[in-house]
Amino acid sequence: MKKPVIDQETCIGCGVCASVDASVFEMQDDGKAHVIDGAEINESTVQDAIDQCPVQSISWEE
Ligand code: F3S
């Protein structure tokens, strides 16, 4: 199954991904977004989050 990854170096913690798909992305205490372990991936919603991240920190895992 495809899975998104977040570049922790470039994420600015804007929170857009978590508001687009709260079942996959969550903001943590480090101020960055993280992919929730075992999250059910809805490809089109995750793609929306990828497209809306202002700094292109989210990508599909290779
Ligand atoms: Fe970070 Fe982009 Fe989400 S900046 S908080 S990965 S929308």
pLDDT digit string (tens) for 9-59? 999 999 999 999 999 999 999 999 999 999 999 999 999 999 999 999 999
Quote the pLDDT of residue 62: 76
Quote the pLDDT of residue 55: 98
- What is residue 17's three-state secondary structure? helix
**What is the Cβ-side half-sphere exposure of residue 15, based on CA atoms within 13 angstroms?**
6
Parallel, antiparallel or unpaired: strands 4-6 and 58-60: antiparallel
| Residues 6+ positions from 55 with CB-CB distance below 8 Å | 10, 11, 12, 14
Quote the pLDDT of residue 14: 98
Quote the pLDDT of residue 1: 77
Beta strands in the chain (DSSP E): 4-6, 25-27, 33-35, 58-60
Which of 8, 10, 17 has most ligand 1 atoms within 8 Å of its beta carbon, as the pocket-test mutant?
17
Query: What is this structure's pTM?
Result: 0.95
Quote the pLDDT of residue 4: 98
Question: Ligand 1 centre from 53 Cα, in Å?
Answer: 5
